[in-house]
Amino acid sequence: MTLLDRPRTTAPHRTPDARPEITTAANSPSSAPVVLEADRPADVVAFVERIARLTTPDQIHWVDGSTRERHALLQQLVAAGTLTQLNPDIRPYSFLARSDERDVARVEERTFICSEREEDAGPTNNWMAPEQMRAELEPLFTGSMRGRTLYVVPFAMGPIGSSMTRYGVQLTDSPYVVVSMGTMTRLGSAALAQIVRGQSWVPAVHSVGAPLNNGQKDVPWPCNETKYIAHFPKEREIWSYGSAYGGNAILAKKAFALRIASVMARDEGWLAEHMLLIKVTSPAGKKYHMAAAFPSACGKTNLAMLTPTTPGWTVETIGDDIAWLHIGKDGRLRAINPEAGFFGVAPGTGISTNRTAVDTLWGNTIFTNVALREDGDVWWEGLTDTPPARLIDWRGEEWTPDSGRPAAHPNSRFTVAAHQAPSIADTWDDPEGVVIDAIIFGGRRRALAPLVVEARDWDHGVFMGATISSEQTAAAEGTVGQLRRDPFAMLPFAGYNMADYFAHWLDFGKRLRRSARVPRVFQVNWFRKSPEGKFLWPGFGENGRVIEWMVARLESEACIDETPLGGIPRQGELNVAGLDLPEEDLTELFRMDTDELEAEADDVEHFFQTFGDKLPAELRHQLSHLRSRVRAQREAEAGTA
């Protein structure tokens, strides 16, 4: 057994060797319960000591989550050059980080699922045998924190005390990660107190992979050319090396809340999903909750913070990225947002497109890889219609509108607390969760996919989710604009074989059908274009009109026309009053070309073949039904020709 292996005992391991200095935040003003050193869980202490022996940090700091501690860390990061404090008169207590140019996005080709068997990881994940991965990681982590502080970060994913909440402990040598975790999770003594009371926890180890020799000067953004993000589903364990960027390093987010949690959800009978959550209120005052899955940078935050243009309708935010869905005691599908903050894509978020998001960022925000204005505030493409005359771009270089390059990185981000959003719902952190009335899948398609379509039943909805396709965005590595299948928007995030994941969704639906009303399932596409390349739908606040139609369907107040892809609004039932939307554009938004449908079915079949015999039979049946309906449409077109 190596130091990377989890010990079989929970007793703390004591070593006679010299130990790094232990620090905590003193005189904490936080209202969180204080966990004394003597009361720390033995298994957590053993974990910390084991990793400290491996990584040899100079200090160990147990994070308590206090305001005093956060302030000290932020000032430490400013002094190190990692953060630049913005003009406090414009953007109070906010900061800008510029990452290393080699560390700007998820590194999917370096992200591994280390299940015992390769088939358990499936064809959409990178796999490495656990013993091989541990052999790769041990020499990298040996001494990796030399000259640095090891931070012990206990955290909760979900409201403290909720039966749907899960807990973790991340060890990291990056103070930038600590302050980011402080925004994105319920962090510190309150979470550790739950572990003390016996809650299970997921261990996560992170190092930027940049040890310091005595007297060596640090760099503002330490990272390493070599990168690994390794998940061990059986052990419920995460190891990350070499990156300080976003989900590569904030391990509570994609690594825990999706990849490891999806395995936990399969084993425990719930769903861990890449979904936003919204609360919709009709003019009559009736409330609905919806969960929606969109690939990254395809409009999730805009929908999560939607301001409908139609009178009397409101949309409130519960979560913008991740949802955990359980069958409640009442048999209804319930969901929580396990996160405590937003880690949003900045470009495209602007005053004219998402005023709510802009208002959320008034202060107390960390920006990464956006541009710096001369007045000490930030800017990115899409924030305003007209760019400033002069900026310092995300690389730290002078920029003007004539520079011929983006001022902000296409995947630049903001990190801000969820409670700061003016659109936040009063139920956003309800420990009982919210009842889900509808599930929405969406992608980014220039053609074929209609503005909105309703699934015929749960199994057809699973087929919709399994076949989501989207043009590649800057949030992940790859050719921007290339179309890829991104089932359930979980392609980079499912922690096990996606064919088994599809089967879990189908089985989950059977349980729902036995217990209560099954949510309706819809698919949307805000990005349909005309043959000339013009967006056909205005989007943004006008997307509330589509939500309005969905609610009408929930109340059985609207009819549909059947198509090969599902039910679309009957003519005249989608509210387009007051829109400058030509009738031919409205028709094009729902037109389904038979040749394109046949090509789509062929592409889906090709995608399904990657899963071999593990693909659930229900999805093969759904594909067969699609082909039958396409043939019927072709015959109908021939009959009217």
From the annotation, which residues make up the binding site for substrate? 106, 245-247, 296, 411-413
For residue 274, give the nearest of 353, 339, 200 by alpha carbon. 339
For residue 62, give the nearest of 187, 151, 195, 186 by alpha carbon. 151
Map residue 456 onto helix, strand or coil: coil
The partner residues of 204 in beta bridges, in order of sequence, read 170, 238
17: left (phi > 0), else alpha (psi -120 to 50), else beta? beta
* Whole-angstrom distance, CA of residue 577 vs CA of residue 580: 9
* Whole-angstrom distance, CA of residue 88 vs CA of residue 359: 16
Q: Does the active-site annotation cover 298?
A: yes
User: Which residues, 6 or more positions from 520, have their beta carbon under 8 angstroms from its beta carbon?
Assistant: 437, 438, 439, 454, 455, 550, 553, 554
Q: What is the 3-state secondary structure (H, E, C) of 580-592?
A: CCCHHHHHHHHCC
For residue 180, give the nearest of 99, 338, 74, 58 by alpha carbon. 74
Binding residues for Mn(2+): 254, 274, 321
Cβ neighbours around 530 below 10 Å, total: 14
Binding residues: 106, 245-247, 254, 274, 296-302, 321, 411-413, 444, 540-543
> What are the two backbone dihedrals, phi and then psi, of residue 378, each rounded to the nearest 5 degrees?
-115, 165
- Residue 524's Cβ-side half-sphere holds a number of Cα atoms within 13 Å equal to 23
* Whole-angstrom distance, CA of residue 423 vs CA of residue 51: 41
Map residue 442 onto helix, strand or coil: strand
Token readout for 414 is 């903001």
* Whole-angstrom distance, CA of residue 191 vs CA of residue 201: 10
User: Which residues, 6 or more positions from 631, have their beta carbon under 8 angstroms from its beta carbon?
Assistant: none
Binding residues for GTP: 297-302, 413, 444, 540-543
Q: Which amino acid is residue 424, in one-letter code? A: I
Map residue 632 onto helix, strand or coil: helix
Q: Pick the catalytic residue: 114, 223, 298, 559?
A: 298
The partner residues of 327 in beta bridges, in order of sequence, read 333
How buried is residue 587: exposed, middle or buried, by Cβ count under 10 Å (0-12/13-18/19+)?
exposed
Token readout for 341 is 């903050």
The Cα-based distances of 469 to 80, 208, 487, 527, 623 in angstroms read 42, 33, 7, 12, 15
9: left (phi > 0), else alpha (psi -120 to 50), else beta? beta
* Whole-angstrom distance, CA of residue 334 vs CA of residue 427: 12
* Whole-angstrom distance, CA of residue 336 vs CA of residue 326: 9
Cβ neighbours around 62 below 10 Å, total: 23
| E strand segments, 391-547 | 391-392, 398-399, 413-417, 434-435, 438-442, 452-454, 469-471, 483-485, 520-524
Q: Which amino acid is residue 231, in one-letter code? A: H
Q: What is the 3-state secondary structure (H, E, C) of 35-90?
A: CCHHHCCHHHHHHHHHHHHHHCCCEEEECCCCHHHHHHHHHHHHHHCCEEECCCCC
Q: Write out the catalytic residue numbers.
A: 298
